[in-house]
Every structure is written in C-alpha cells, then in structure tokens.
Homo-oligomer: A and B are copies of this chain.
Amino acid sequence: MRGDGAPSRVYAPELGEPGSTLVLSAEESHYLVRVCRARPGDRTEATDGRGGVASLRLVSVAGGVEAEVEASSRTTRRRRAWVLCGAPEGSRADWLVEKLAELGVERWQPVDCERGAWTRATGRVERWRRLAVAGLRQARRCHLLEVMDPAEIGTALVGVPEGAAGWLASREGAREVGRSDPDRVAVGVIGPAGGLTAAEEGGIQALGFSRICLSDGRLRTETAALAWSVWWSMSG
C-alpha cells in the first residue's frame, strides 16, 4: 500500500457480513492494485456509501480483487447538506461534483431555472456518480454523495426535507451568517450562470430561505456552490 500513513478506502455497494468474501468492481480493483499497489494479504477498508465500513484482508488481486470481510461497522450521517445548483457555463460542474463529494455534501441536485437549463448530455450523470465515488475514496468518507438527475427548480424545492435550513446564495445577502445549525439539513440554492429571476428569488425566500453572501466579488455558479459547501463544512 502507498506509504501515506492511512489505509485506503474503496467503494462497494454491498459489503456482506464478517467472514464473507467481497468481490470488488473493476474500477475499485484497478484503484487498489494499480494506484495503491495492493497485494494479497494487505488490509484495506470498503464502504457502502451509506455509513457502512468493512475491514478487508485481500485474498487475491489477479483479475479483480477478492477480499475477506474481517469486521464491519455502521455510522449515521452526522450532518447533512443538499446543494441545489443551476447550470454553470460549459462542463464546469464535473470538478464541482468531485469537490462536493470530498466535502461531505449529502445530495447534488442540478436544477433547471428560467435563465439556464442543464443540457442532457449522454453519460453526464453516470460520470458525476464516478466522480462522487472518487471523492468518497479521496476523503475516506463512509457516506456517498447522492447524484440526482436534473429537475425543475420548483420540483426540487418541493422535495426539500421538512425543517431544513435553507440558504440562497446572493450578493445582496448577509455576510455575517454564523454557522449552520448541525441539527437541520442545510440546503443551499445557487442560481445558474445567467442568474435567477426576481420571481424565482422571491419564491425561494417565501419558502423561508435566508440569503447568504459568499464573497465581496461576483462568483461563478460553480465557485458559489463550492464556497457555500465549504462554509457548511467548516461550520461542523
């Protein structure tokens, strides 16, 4: 294993019970064998992305990795954040999705707005899901970023959990907002590159969302989404 002082962690949607054999996917096997240079007998961890973590002992690495589950544990998500994000310019969302996964955001919800809709590029959501797994591995988390299909902003807002603390990224918002309440799901709404309309902003505020100003400059959509997530992450 790479000598960076901490065990690697891979993703396996079904972990199985201690004593059972876990067969890793081609992608996770590649990561362990090619990137981490794992060998039979090495120990590592796997997570199901839903709070489960299994300690593994690698049995064979030829072809794909097979490992024995030595122990397992489960934790619940301590803090929850959803990002409802309008379309940025170009393919700028890819980098963003990976970063949100690293920061521990729970759900990535692309939203279609009046001044900006997500293009339905083939394979985009699948690519985001791979990037979410990469971020999970990188940050050694046990909860996977949930990648949603794009939805109308109104539909997405209706699906926000009851009792959530809603935030609307806005240059007219407050600069001093303190911390995010750890007992409530934090929901950040970020407009598309073309901005939200006054009607959209009014509707979001009518739902009880507070405006938050993330910078003294005008941020791009993906920068604002990341800044909001960092603010949330550092509030924990």
Please give the residue numbers on chain A whose beta carbons come within 8 Å of chain B beta carbons, in ascending order: 4, 6, 95, 99, 102-104, 138-141, 175, 194-195, 214-220, 223, 226-227, 230-231, 233-234, 236
Q: Is the CB–CB distance between B218 and A6 below 8 Å? A: yes
**Within the assembled complex, what's the spacing in Å between the Cα atoms of A223 and B4?**
18
**Within the assembled complex, what's the spacing in Å between the Cα atoms of A220 and B99?**
9
**Within the assembled complex, what's the spacing in Å between the Cα atoms of A102 and B236?**
25
Known: A104-B216, A139-B217. 13 other contacts (CB 8 A): A6-B218, A102-B217, A102-B219, A103-B217, A138-B218, A141-B217, A175-B234, A214-B230, A214-B234, A215-B233, A216-B236, A226-B230, A230-B230
Which of B217, B220, B230 contacts A104, CB < 8 Å?
Answer: B217
Q: Is the CB–CB distance between B234 and A227 below 8 Å? A: yes
Q: How many copies does the complex hold?
A: 2
Q: Is the CB–CB distance between B140 and A218 below 8 Å? A: yes
B residues less than 8 Å from A216 (CB atoms): 104, 233, 236
B residues less than 8 Å from A138 (CB atoms): 217-220
Q: Is the CB–CB distance between A219 and B139 below 8 Å? A: yes
Which of B215, B227, B236 contacts A175, CB < 8 Å?
Answer: B236
Chain B CB within 10 Å, residue with most, of A102, A104, A175, A226: A102
- Report A4 CB to chain B, min CB distance, Å: 6
Nearest chain B residue, comparing its CB with the CB of A228: B230
Q: Is the CB–CB distance between A195 and B4 below 8 Å? A: yes
**Within the assembled complex, what's the spacing in Å between the Cα atoms of A236 and B176?**
9
Nearest chain B residue, comparing its CB with the CB of A226: B226
- Report A107 CB to chain B, min CB distance, Å: 16
Nearest chain B residue, comparing its CB with the CB of A219: B102
**Within the assembled complex, what's the spacing in Å between the Cα atoms of A191 and B74?**
32
Q: Is the CB–CB distance between B4 and A215 below 8 Å? A: no
Nearest chain B residue, comparing its CB with the CB of A140: B218
- Report A192 CB to chain B, min CB distance, Å: 12
B residues less than 8 Å from A215 (CB atoms): 102-104, 139, 233-234
- Report A130 CB to chain B, min CB distance, Å: 16
